[in-house]
Chain A
Amino acid sequence: MNPADESVLQEKIALAKAGNTEAWGELYRNYAPAIFRFCRRTMPTREDAEDATMDIFVKVRQKLSQYDATRSFSAWLYTVAANHCWDLLRRRKLRQDLETGEVENMPLEHPDPGQLEQLIQQRTSQEIRRAMDQLPSRSRMALVLRYYSDMSYDDIAATLGVRRTFVGVVLLRARHQLREILEGKAGANLATGGAA
Chain B
Amino acid sequence: MIHFDEMACLLYLEGQLDPQRAKELETHVEECPTCSNLLHALQTETTHLSAALTEDNEPIPARIIGERTRRLPVWIWSLAFGAFAAFSYWVWVDGLSPFFDPLSNAGFGGTDLFTMIVFNGAFWEGWGDMMDAMQIGALILVAVVAIVWIRRRLRRPVAVAVVMSALLLAVALPQRASAADVRRGRSIIIPAGEVIHNDLVAAGPSVRIDGTVDGDVIAFTRNLTVTGHVTGDVIGFAGVTLIDGTVDGNVRVISRNIMLQGEIGKNLSTISNSLDLSSKANVGGGAIALAADGDLDGKIQHDFLGLIGRGDIEGLIGGEAWIRGGSLTVESTGEIRGPATFEGPQQPDVESGAKLASPFRTEITQDIRRNRRTAARSVVRGLFGYVAAVAVGIFLLLVFPGFFRAALREADSIGLPIGVGALALITGAFLLLIGMLLLFIGVGAGVAGALAYAPILYVAQVFVGAWLGNKIMGAAPADSSAALNAWITRLAVGLLILRILSFIPVLGSFVWLAVLLWGTGAVLLGFYKMSRLESMPVPV
Contacts and interface: CB of A to CB of B under 8 A. Distances in A.
Interface stretch (B47-55, B212-220, B382-390, B468-476): B47-55
A57 interface: yes
Interface residues of A, number: 54
Given A45-B152, A125-B52, A125-B57, A54 B64 contact: yes
A51 B66 CA distance: 14
* Listed residue (A22, A45, A114, A117) with the most chain B CB atoms within 10 angstroms of its CB: A117
A57 B10 CA distance: 34
Interface in B33-82: 34, 37-38, 40-42, 44-46, 48-58, 60-61, 63-66
A71 interface: no
B10 A120 contact: no
A49 B464 CA distance: 34
Contacts of B61: 36, 46, 50
B54 A148 contact: yes
Nearest to B401: A21
B53 A32 contact: no
A48 interface: yes
Contacts of B37: 113-114, 117
B19 interface: no
Nearest to A168: B11
Contacts of A175: 10, 45, 49
Given A50-B63, A110-B5, A120-B44, A29 B539 contact: yes
Contacts of A108: 6
Nearest to A125: B52
Contacts of B49: 128, 143, 147, 175, 178
A172 interface: yes
A178 B45 CA distance: 11
B14 interface: yes
Contacts of A172: 6-7, 10
A47 B60 contact: no
Contacts of B152: 45, 47-48
A33 B63 CA distance: 11
Contacts of B34: 113
Contact of B535 (A21, A144, A146, A168): A21
B155 interface: yes
A190 to B, nearest CB: 18
A147 B44 contact: no
Contacts, number: 131
A40 B58 contact: yes
Contacts of B536: 21, 24-25, 28, 57, 61
Given A45-B153, A55-B156, A171-B10, A120 B48 contact: yes
B402 interface: yes
B51 A111 contact: no
A159 interface: no
The 8 A-B pairs with the shortest beta carbon distances in the complex, nearest first, are A25-B537, A113-B37, A128-B52, A125-B52, A148-B53, A113-B41, A116-B41, A117-B41
28 contacts: A21-B402, A22-B537, A25-B539, A32-B64, A32-B65, A33-B60, A37-B54, A40-B58, A44-B153, A51-B155, A61-B534, A91-B157, A92-B154, A108-B6, A116-B41, A116-B42, A116-B45, A117-B40, A117-B41, A120-B41, A120-B48, A125-B48, A147-B49, A147-B50, A148-B50, A153-B16, A168-B7, A175-B10
Interface of A: 21-22, 24-25, 28-29, 32-33, 36-37, 40-41, 44-48, 50-51, 53-55, 57-58, 61, 91-92, 108, 110-111, 113-114, 116-117, 120-121, 123, 125-126, 128-129, 132, 143-144, 146-148, 153, 168-169, 171-172, 175, 178
Given A28-B536, A57-B536, A172-B6, 18 more contacts: A24-B536, A45-B152, A50-B64, A54-B533, A58-B534, A91-B157, A110-B6, A113-B38, A114-B37, A117-B37, A120-B41, A125-B51, A125-B55, A128-B49, A129-B53, A148-B54, A153-B16, A172-B7
